[in-house]
Structure 1
Amino acid sequence: MDLAVWQIIILVILAFFSILDSLTLNIGCQYPVIIGTFTGLIMGDITLGLAIGATLQLMVLGVGTYGGASIPDFTTGAIVGTAFAAMSHQNAEFAIGIAVPVGLLMVQLDVLARFTNTFFLHRVDKNIAMNNIAGVRRNVLLGALPWGLSRAIPVFIMLVFGKKIVDFIVNEMPDWLMGGLKVSGGILPVVGIAILLRYLPTNKFVAYLIIGFVAAAYLKVPMLGVALIGLALAIIFFKQNFNKQVVLAGNSTTNMMGVENEDGEYED
């Protein structure tokens, strides 16, 4: 089974908007289970697409791009895997075997998209300095292009040239390029976390920050454990401050009303 031109066009458009949905739109198209189902509908096998998308969805539950981190894009993998499985009349296991390397490849392309997008970011800063609102709006919209094209172009190439191109890109990409992208991908989360800490009340809660760092870096506590420690500290902090506010509120009321005498009346 060969893909029709209209199927390739729709799948490329779907890949383009799926990453934009995860960044801004948030209408649900960033989830592999949704995109897999749509791809299955386009390919004429909605059951296969749903099975592939649901399997990939389980692989990304609880995973997010917080702090500028790049994660495997199994949404794009769901598109390619479902399309190849439907074309070759294979099962979901075959599709997952294709979708996983595609999702891992998207990590590197995600880093490239982030770097490319800085061009428009500098233009936004320049237009802000010039008080050019129209220019700011235009470059913000243009900034979506690197993100969308980082998914649309690979999907187009894969659908046109087939599975061999995926294996070639993954296996034959130069070590210097892969190494550089991995280093960049490791730096981006650190920069993102630093930006977050810049705007958070870090000085006030630096003790909690140290506890979380020690738990994660030295004690090797999993992220769920670190999150639970943070939750416990937040509960303790809330209770302490809530009780303090109640005491302060009570003292304030007493000072305003005076001291209660033996007859139950308040005296200044």
Structure 2
Amino acid sequence: MSEARSEPRGASVIVNVLDVLRCFTVQQPIVGVTEIAEQVNLHKSSVSRILSTLEQERVVERDEQTRKYRLGLGLIAIAGPLLANLDVRRVAYPILEDLREATQETAVLNIWEGSESVSVEQLPSPRLVKHTSVMGSRYRTALSASVQLFLAYEDPQYREKLLTEGSIDLTQMPINTYLARLETVRERGYAVNYGETSAEEVAVAAGIFDHRGQLVACAMIAAPFYRVGAEELEQLCLHTVSAADQISTRLGHRKEK
């Protein structure tokens, strides 16, 4: 009986640890005990104990100047096997290298996690001025190139739910106009974000399909807006689609003729 009663407590401790870790985001990489306690609705002493244990395991580390915390290198050991087992990531890497070489821009691989596009690989442009983001960055803005691409192939009912309930940030155009845009994305096989989410960025995303014909990822190019005119954009689209097709072929996908 005592063992059965202890299960909810153990489960709640694990949930609390995960809630604490979720407080570290790309937008807020360094967080203090008080901030975390407010976000997860725990006492500061409980948060301090969790962070102290995580620090011992190098999952978090303390910033010496602010005495706040950031994620630590110990997470790499945990996440490494997951990333290594993403077949699409292994297959895509050499082709992304070729894509970066051909365009001289940042080549990225993104996957879809239900309501967010997540970057799982990034090869920065060799140029001094480049557009990059933090590995693991998540995107839920409707006009992001990767989000457009994934939503274009999403189940229509689920897609509409995401858009109407606000899981995807669509504030720049009516939903019907956006849905028509997604149809165009699906027809041509790639999506473009030409300074629509950031005046400084251009991005092109093309779909990667597996042997079942299912969309599993997207190859993407990200570039500074100032050096992408109409001709350059056309070339970026061609190279990105070509790279995505090559990765798809290696995954066993056969294009319909």
TM-score range, shorter chain: under 0.3
Specify which structure has the higher proportion of strand.
2
With the length of structure 2 as denominator, give the TM-score of the two structures.
Answer: 0.25
Specify which structure has the higher proportion of helix.
1
Higher relative contact order, structure no. (Cα contacts within 8 Å, ≥ 6 residues apart): 1
